[in-house]
Chain A
Amino acid sequence: MDQENQFRALLQENRDRIYRICCGYVRDENTRQDVFQTVLLHLWESLATFRGGSQVSTWIFRITVNTCLGYLRTQRREQRMRTEVEGQMQHAGVPVAPAPAETCQTRDDIGRLYDCIHQLPPVDRMLIALHLEEAGAEEMAEVLGITPGNARVRLHRAKTALLEIWERTGDGLE
């Protein structure tokens, strides 16, 4: 199979799960689509060098998680720049429009789940996002570069933290 067909097949099978992981990192719909497109770009670029050393799903998870981590960095830079510019504008007496509200255009419980996930630290977000995509401890460990035991312990802690946030905002997850 040539690269284009391989990519098409990959896209067909994994498009939605990649998008769902992006949902765990990015709240704003437009930005999420940008990050999603960037993940696809990295998949395309890395496809030629994929030798099957790991499972396809692990390879995809790695690229998605790393791209989302990259997004978190640029997001912080943008926030800093926005604060600086707004400070300068206020200093100059220019009225500052409020930043557009971040939206998670998903339905009820799912929207609420993502709101809760977004309150978790980045590493916990990774673990929960992978857990929701049915990744086991071994796979999580391969994606993050930690031991499976550590992945299990961390996932347990992340789930506990998520449950606490969920309970604070309504009924509990079991």
Chain B
Amino acid sequence: MDWNDMKDELRKIRAPREEPGVPGPAAGAANDLIARLKAHEAEERAKLKQSRTLFLVAIGFTSFALVGLSLSWSGPLPAYRVLHQGALLAAFVYIALGLQKKLWNLARVDYTQPARSFLAAAERRYVFMTPRDYVVMAVGLLLLGVASAPYVVGLFLSRYVSREHYTTVLALYCLFYLLVAAMGFYFTHQNWRRDRAPLLADIRRLRNALENNEDVQ
């Protein structure tokens, strides 16, 4: 058998029809497929909207708390309270925008680009953290740290610690906060190593095979 015979033979392979026994793409089957495609699209859009709603509620709640606090406070609001609520609001907005962008990028995998670019884009999605992600994470942690500090000052320090030990306790708070952040980072990295690192290795092997003329199995 030669290549041309093989190609001719291949032409006999037909894609399964939605309705068994119907020769050619039946109109009913196509309609059914289109309906399912539309349903899938709607489902994806709904997921994105849900996540956005969650953060909009959080932002709205924080804004409401800030306004409520400034109205109910007798006299001008203390600076640390404004700082706290402002930082909390900023942190929520920041995280919401970041997550929205991430979801947006995930939902928009471009399958129409050449395989090489497709793999390069997949590599960017699967990599643990880009330098930009580190900057985003640092800003987010800083905002959350500033947002939670007034709780330590207002609810804990002023009640249980004498004024001369404030600096020590604040330093301990910073240390504790950094420890929690480091633990979060560690466990995230472990999860990534388990779930995504092997996939990233596969993507890189394939990409290398395409770019460097190397074969991979």
Contacts and interface: CB of A to CB of B under 8 A. Distances in A.
Interface of A: 4, 7-8, 11-12, 15-16, 18-20, 23, 33, 36, 40-42, 44-46, 49-50, 59, 62-63, 65-67, 69-70, 72-73, 76-77, 80, 106-107, 109-110, 113, 121-124, 126, 132, 134, 142-146, 150, 154, 171, 173-174
Nearest 8 A/B pairs, CB to CB: A145-B114, A145-B116, A19-B15, A174-B2, A121-B215, A44-B37, A42-B111, A15-B15
Contact of A16 (B7, B15, B34, B122): B15
B37 A145 contact: no
Interface string B184-195: 000000000001
Given A62-B112, A144-B210, A76 B199 contact: yes
Counting chain B residues whose Cβ lies within 8 A of the other chain, the interface size class is 35 or more
B90 interface: no
A144 B6 contact: no
18 contacts: A7-B34, A8-B30, A16-B15, A19-B13, A19-B14, A41-B37, A44-B37, A62-B114, A66-B113, A69-B118, A73-B199, A132-B7, A143-B115, A144-B114, A145-B114, A145-B115, A174-B2, A174-B3
User: Which secondary structure dominates where chain B touches chain A?
Assistant: helix
Contacts of B10: 20, 110, 113, 132
A112 B9 CA distance: 12
B13 A41 contact: no
Nearest to B119: A69
B216 A122 contact: yes
B30 A110 contact: no
Interface string B117-131: 111001000000000
Given A145-B116, A173-B2, 8 more contacts: A11-B25, A44-B37, A77-B199, A106-B13, A109-B6, A109-B9, A150-B213, A173-B3
Contacts of B37: 40-41, 44-45
Contacts of B164: none
Given A76-B198, A109-B9, A11 B2 contact: no
A142 to B, nearest CB: 7
Contacts, number: 134
Interface of A, helix, strand, loop or mixed by DSSP: helix
A146 B40 contact: no
B13 A154 contact: no
B202 interface: yes
A106 B13 CA distance: 8
Given A16-B14, A16-B15, A123-B206, A69 B115 contact: yes
Contact of B15 (A36, A65, A106): A36
Contacts of B217: 121
B171 interface: no
Contacts of B1: 109, 171, 173-174
Contact of B215 (A4, A42, A59, A123): A123
Nearest to A46: B112
B15 to A, nearest CB: 3
Given A19-B14, A76-B202, A123 B114 contact: no
Contacts of B111: 42, 45-46, 62-63, 66-67
A134 B210 contact: no
A143 B114 contact: yes
A154 B2 contact: no
A122 B206 contact: yes
A150 B123 CA distance: 23
B33 interface: yes
Contact of A59 (B2, B24, B112, B206): B112
A71 B202 CA distance: 12
